[in-house]
Chain A
């Protein structure tokens, strides 16, 4: 079974802090994704990566950056956290072929105070 592990289930940070969310997958997947999920808005793609050191902006990249130094790890960075970034963050990974489904972690519920 594919396992996608997010480092924290719950996280509380303060406005202006730099925040790191970590995600690790164990299936040697090429593609990795970061989403945020908000009530009534569904899932929105922040960034994705299709290879080590490669990244592409999703639909809502503003205020975020990402890092993929190793194939199994994809980090989401909030450079200067703001209260409107309080949300559920979901990481996913998928194989190279376009017919491969995405596999999700359990999510990190982030609160910015």
Chain B
């Protein structure tokens, strides 16, 4: 079974500054990794995913994440944030074996972009 830790529950950052949202997962098996974003009063939207191959993954809205197998981390980054990035972000690992249906969600990181 997966477990996931999002190390920061809230991250305030000034507009146009860089940001990193941290995610560590715990698994003894291969995983797929996902980041989702949730804007106020909406469902979750897929931001990016790591399945295999290059460890640097690019997603929508200028976000990227790096898979680090040795540190079991999948941190999300953006070089310059915008007001519209204010949202809650969820990291979600998933087992890659057959019959692995479930995502395990972190508790979320609320990103607040300050004008």
The residues of A with any CB-CB pair to B shorter than 8 Å are 4, 31, 33, 35, 40-43, 45, 48, 50, 56, 58, 90, 92, 94, 98-99, 101-107, 109
Contacts of A43 in B (CB 8 A): 44, 90, 105
The reply to whether A104 and B107 form a contact with Cβ atoms under 8 Å apart is no
Closest chain B CB from A53 CB (angstroms): 16
Which B residues contact A (CB, under 8 angstroms)?
A: 9, 32, 34, 36, 41-46, 49, 51, 90, 94-103, 105-108
Set of chain A residues within 8 Å of B49, measured between Cβ atoms:
101
Q: In the complex, which of the residues B9, B43, B106 contacts A107, with contact meaning CB atoms closer than 8 Å?
A: B43
> Main secondary structure on chain A at its contact with chain B?
strand
Our pick among B42, B46, B96, B105 for the contact of A101 (Cβ within 8 Å) is: B46
- Is B43 a contact of A104 with CB atoms below 8 Å? yes
Q: Which residue of A lies closest to B51 (CB)?
A: A99
Extra 5 A-B pairs, beta carbons < 8 Å, given A101-B46, A104-B45:
A42-B90, A43-B90, A105-B43, A106-B42, A106-B43
Bound together, the chains give a CA A40 to CA B90 distance in angstroms of: 12
Choose among B41, B44, B96, B101 the residue that contacts A104 (Cβ–Cβ < 8 A).
Answer: B44
Contacts of A103 in B (CB 8 A): 46
Query: In the assembly, what is the distance between CA of A17 and CA of B12, in Å?
Result: 41
> Contacts A105-B43, A106-B42 known; A41 to B107 CB distance under 8 Å?
yes
Least CB distance from A95 to B in Å reads 11
Contact of A58 with B102 in the complex, beta carbons under 8 Å: yes
Of residues B42, B43, B99, B103, which shows the largest number of chain A Cβ atoms within 10 Å of its Cβ? Answer: B43
> Would B34 and A48 count as touching, CB distance under 8 A?
no
In the complex, what distance in Å separates the CA atom of A35 from the CA atom of B32?
20
State A73–B90 Cα separation when bound (angstroms): 26
